Amino acid sequence: MRSPARRTTWAVALSATLLLAACGGGDEEGQSSDDPIVVGISLPLTGDFSEPGKGVQEGYEAWAKTTNDKGGLLGRQVELKILDDQSNADRVVADYEQLIGSDQVDLVVGPFSTRLVVPSARVAQEYNMLFVEPAGAAAEVFNQGFKNLFYAAPAVADDHYNHLAEYLLALPAGQKPTTVAYAAMDDPFAQGTAYGLKKKLEAGGVKTVVDEVYPPNTTDFGSIAAKIASAKPDMVVGGSQYQDGVNLIVALQQLNYQPKLAAFSTAPTSPEFAKAIGNKTAGILSPTGYSQDAPYPSNKEFVEKFTAQFGKAPEEDQANGYTTGQVVAAAVEAAGCAEQGECQQKLIDWLHGNQVETVVGPLSWDATGKPQGAHMIQQWVGNDIKIVLPAEAKEADLVYPKPAW
Amino acid sequence: MPNASDATAAGLRAPGKWLPLGAAGLLIVAIAAFPSLAPNPYILSSGVIVLNWAVLATSWNFVGGFTGYISLGHGALAGLGGYATGLLITKAGIPSFVALLVAALLVAALAVPIGFAALRVRGASFVIVSIALVLILLLVFQSWSSVTGGSRGLVVPRPFPGMLRPEHHRVFFFLYGGLLLLALATWWLLDRSRFGLGLKAIREDEDKAESLGTPTFAYKLTVFVVSAAFTALAGGLYALWFGDLDPVFQFSVLTGSYIVLMALLGGVRNLYGPVLGAIVVGVALEYFKVEFGNSPLHLVTTGLLLGLVVMFMPDGVIPSLGGLVQRLRKGEQSSIREMTAADLAEQRKREREGASS
Amino acid sequence: MPSGALLFQSIILGLLLGGLYALLAAGLTLYFGIMRVVMIAHSAFLILAAYLAWWTSTELGIDPLLSMVVTVPLFFAAGVLLQRGLLSRLRPVTLTMMSVLITFAIALMIEGLLGYAFSGTQRRIQLSYGTASLELFGARVAVVKLIAFGLAAVSLAGLYVLMKRTQFGWALRATIQHRDAARLVGIDTERTAGFGFGLGLATAAVGGTALSLDTTIYPSLHWHWIGPLMAIIVVGGLGSVAGAAAAALLLGLAQSLLQIPMGATWAQTVFYVALFATLAIRPQGFFGGRLAQRF
């Protein structure tokens, strides 16, 4: 046994040395004004959030192409460096670590999903980098004390249903729903949307009869649906991402439960939604932060260019990615620089004091990076989903009580 | 009477005795020098991750190496250490590094009932329990959101607020280095103790060990608790370094399988085996991530490697390769001893003479 | 206090779920009986079968149940190969421990390959009868759940007949009870053991198809199945098919009923509580299983 032991010992020593040697490779690249501006991004291209992650990626790519077609930023071309974080918090941190520390990118922008935004924003903060992100909508993103973070969308999760809450509470006493069931994924964003509405309705005297929270990997919604159906509430609210929303709706339909109103976040706006629940979509509501028909100046260009580039119209995720690019670009143009170091603080300071025109409307932020606005409410009418709230943007009237599904 | 031949004899015996110490010295130098040699903070952060793996694999080897019981659940013990540290800081307001030590003690205490259930029966049930441990903790930490933060995760306050990231990595690299040396020293001491002998007897034949009077159950339980404490320390340190805990990643079956792969690859009967395995697998993991990005093929590769090691080299790749090299080099020599019997007799004679003079 | 209808609904859901558990646990018990192997990859094969059913339905546009025509023989062959090619080659002394690692490695590979082929996105079969349900004494039972239960029940009954009434079943039981003695009376125990493994894996093919009808699947889902299944075979007593079936129905029912007061996630802990309690109090299991003590 003595000899193999010795060999192992030396092998340890050898590989430690090799490790050291292997690490000596990364050298600094010289900066010049003709170099492209490299934007580092980590996105969930595989794993739990791969579908929305790919959507955001398309948004970023569309922004880079549109910007470069117009001559770039500060006369420099924009180049995206995208890494895949597998929807994994360990990976997202390592990715930004690599992008900032090793690849020396000039700017970083955010990943998808609130769960990944907080860890990655901390990396950016500790390297003193500006961090504009397309997806960290939950309240806890903004009470971490980040000074470098900006959420590039109209409203945080808790405010998504504001227009709906106002509408319901303004109904006459006889029509107003009296009981509501809530089921939300244990995810800061999804739960935030449902609980934002819950808080407002409870304050308005609407009773909560079921309040269920399920973990993200739940696949069997039979028991949650049974609980909801047996309580027979007037209204059901789902704080959902995509598949869980579909599963819950199918499970409710299996039990033949017919609420007067059904609102689910995210899932109903997805292009595959109707097919996934067998076209039984009648009257389902959903909040959305983006509409292809919105009248903002840059939106028309975005829809056209995006459709030309990808052969389909942009959805909310794509718009969020694009908006993030627009926000960063506005800051870069105003500050006149885009590299690591002191420039980053200039970008941060500018965004704290100014408003940016984007495809989702004008955006401005408070000191924590929280945007000031609310989401539109859409409803499935026939075979299409239409904006029903707020009144000034509506394409159709809200149908209440909703037809049977 | 000291003379030249004495020195030669000492030189013959010395490698086995002094090499672990020499390697320890080399390891210390490597740990001390690495942060200043690392070209950028990213490499340094990878170094922290590799050291984390090395501590985990060495801690695992207290159970795996001594008793032969293979635990796939050590990832859960590390996760528990991380969460305990984080919760003690956020909920009880205990200073970061005190919380780390208290957390390790708590996990060690919890390891007693877990070990009690898991070690009463042999092999298969132990592995079942170790996997079940990961799954049950995942469930509990996801569901008990009022305390653990649930799927939203838990943010662990920074132990050194305001410290910039590169400096933060450097501090934790040294902390991990210290912990690794402590774990190695403990393993080395156990290996030489009567207790260690009893544990190895369990590995070779549990029934015989028991009939010869070894209190096998108590021994197994004790070493499991020691292993759990070291694992929890590594997990707690990770929580302080990384800052964000999410049940899905803290209680992942994959963590345990990487640990087993590292330990088996390096060789479980050797002090430095798991460290070597951790360096090889840990560096490979980071390298493949940078070169090829992440893909589910990582799982396939891990599974494939684990399968190959188990099928063909259950004693570890390095020992097997070492054995192979030795066989090739020795050629026709049939004796398995390193010294011939005549040499040995001569040496002993000289020792006796040396002792009497 | 939950309403009577909800209670009744939960009992039915629990029994339906328990049936599926029983079928899968039967496979695991077979492996353990034949060669003291804890087959971690069982539920990974389950998910693989579910994915194949999903693929059949989505890409070929035919009913997912038809995928069994291919998957059942395929999995049977894979089981035979697995036993002959890998497990029977391990050292007997460390067989139990190393077989866990080998099958664990296989589970990882299946998960990785599924992730590579179909991505980590959750998938669900869209069936024309997916939301249909039957009324049963005031409870609503989804048609797809009934089909899944029917599949499990028929396969379990088939397994029972095969074990009790056929020459092969007789040889298999003899091999499980006493391998050397079985060899002495002229049974080709090697071949029988291989076929036994194939049979065990075939239950995963049936189970996976049944599962795919009404659940969302994703590559790492198998970890959520292997935990409960291992708990079931330990509680039932390692190696006892009848014990496993009883434990499966009991725990499935308990899980479903506990979901009412505790919610879906906490209810799953019933399996692990039962597992730890069994090992701490009665390691040989509650339904026979004379083998467990030594493993």
Closest CA to A131 of B169, A45, A139, A116: A116
Mean of per-residue pLDDT scores for chain C? 84
How distant is the Cα of C264 from the closest Cα of chain A, in angstroms? 7
Q: Tell me whether residue A24 is in a domain.
A: no
pLDDT computed for residue B351 by the predictor: 63
Phi, psi of C202 (to 5 degrees): -65, -30
pLDDT computed for residue C179 by the predictor: 79
Mean pLDDT of C147-168: 88
Q: Which of A279-293, A330-344, B285-299 has the lowest mean pLDDT?
A: B285-299
pLDDT computed for residue B52 by the predictor: 95
| The token pair that represents B325 in the structure block | 């090299």
> With an 8 Å Cβ cutoff, are A23 and B151 in contact?
no
Chains that touch C (3 or more CB pairs under 8 A): A, B
- Say which of A2, A46, A140 has its CB closest to residue B295: A46
> With an 8 Å Cβ cutoff, are B125 and C279 in contact?
yes
Q: Tell me whether residue A12 is in a domain.
A: no
Q: State the angle between helix axes of B41-67 and A89-97 in degrees (0 to 180), rounded to the nearest 10.
A: 140
How distant is the Cα of C237 from the closest Cα of chain B, in angstroms? 11
Mean pLDDT of C105-113: 91
Q: How far is CA B101 from CA B98, B105, B349, in A?
A: 5, 6, 51
Under DSSP, is residue C268 helix (H, G, I), strand (E, B) or coil?
helix
CA nearest to A272 within chain C: C126
Restricting to C residues 87-116, those with a Cβ less than 8 Å away from any Cβ of B are 89-91, 94, 96-98, 100-102, 104-109, 111-116
> With an 8 Å Cβ cutoff, are B30 and A20 in contact?
yes
Q: Does A258 share its domain with A141? A: no
| The token pair that represents C46 in the structure block | 């389950």
Under DSSP, is residue C78 helix (H, G, I), strand (E, B) or coil?
helix
Cβ-in-10-Å burial (0-12, 13-18, 19+) of B21 comes to: exposed
Q: How many domains does chain A have?
A: 2
Instruction: Please give the residue range of the domain that contains residue C80.
Output: 9-220
Please report which helix (H) or strand (E) contains residue A217, including its range.
none
Boundaries of every domain in chain B: 38-315
Q: Tell me whether residue A403 is in a domain.
A: no
Cis peptide before C92 (omega within 30 of 0): no
pLDDT computed for residue B331 by the predictor: 52
Q: Tell me whether residue C269 is in a domain.
A: no
CATH number of this structure's domain B38-315: 1.10.3470
pLDDT computed for residue C294 by the predictor: 42
pLDDT computed for residue B348 by the predictor: 65
pLDDT in tens, C194-235: 998 999 999 999 999 998 888 888 888 888 888 899 889 888
pLDDT in tens, B86-140: 999 999 999 999 999 999 999 999 999 988 888 876 667 788 888 889 989 988 8
Asked if the model's pLDDT at residue B188 lies above 80, the reply is yes
Asked if the model's pLDDT at residue A149 lies above 50, the reply is yes
- CB-CB neighbors (< 8 A) of A242 in chain C: 122
Alpha-carbon distance of B44 to C91, in angstroms, equals 42
How distant is the Cα of B256 from the closest Cα of chain C, in angstroms? 11
What is the interface pTM, i.e. ipTM, of the complex?
Answer: 0.81
Asked if the model's pLDDT at residue A232 lies above 60, the reply is yes
> With an 8 Å Cβ cutoff, are C264 and A214 in contact?
yes
pLDDT in tens, A189-230: 888 899 999 999 999 999 999 998 887 777 778 778 888 998
Q: Tell me whether residue A331 is in a domain.
A: yes
Asked if the model's pLDDT at residue A108 lies above 50, the reply is yes
**What's the distance, Cα to Cα, between the start and end of chain C in Å?**
42
Alpha-carbon distance of B18 to B138, in angstroms, equals 44
> With an 8 Å Cβ cutoff, are C264 and A247 in contact?
no
The domain spanning residue A327 has which CATH number? 3.40.50.2300
- Provide the strand spans (E) within C92-175: 133-136, 139-142
Q: Does A212 share its domain with A359? A: no
Q: Does A321 share its domain with A229? A: no
- Say which of C90, C104, C295 has its CB closest to residue B121: C295
Q: Tell me whether residue C1 is in a domain.
A: no
Q: How many domains does chain C have?
A: 1
A258 reaches C (C-beta below 8 A): no
Asked if the model's pLDDT at residue B12 lies above 70, the reply is no
Q: Tell me whether residue A3 is in a domain.
A: no
| Tokens 């292809």 sit on residue | A292
Alpha-carbon distance of B353 to B356, in angstroms, equals 5
Band of pLDDT at residue C291, cut at 50, 70 and 90: very low
Instruction: Please give the residue range of the domain that contains residue A179.
Output: 159-288+376-393
Asked if the model's pLDDT at residue A17 lies above 70, the reply is no
Q: Does A215 share its domain with A278? A: yes
CA nearest to A44 within chain C: C120
Asked if the model's pLDDT at residue A152 lies above 70, the reply is yes
Mean pLDDT of C48-70: 90
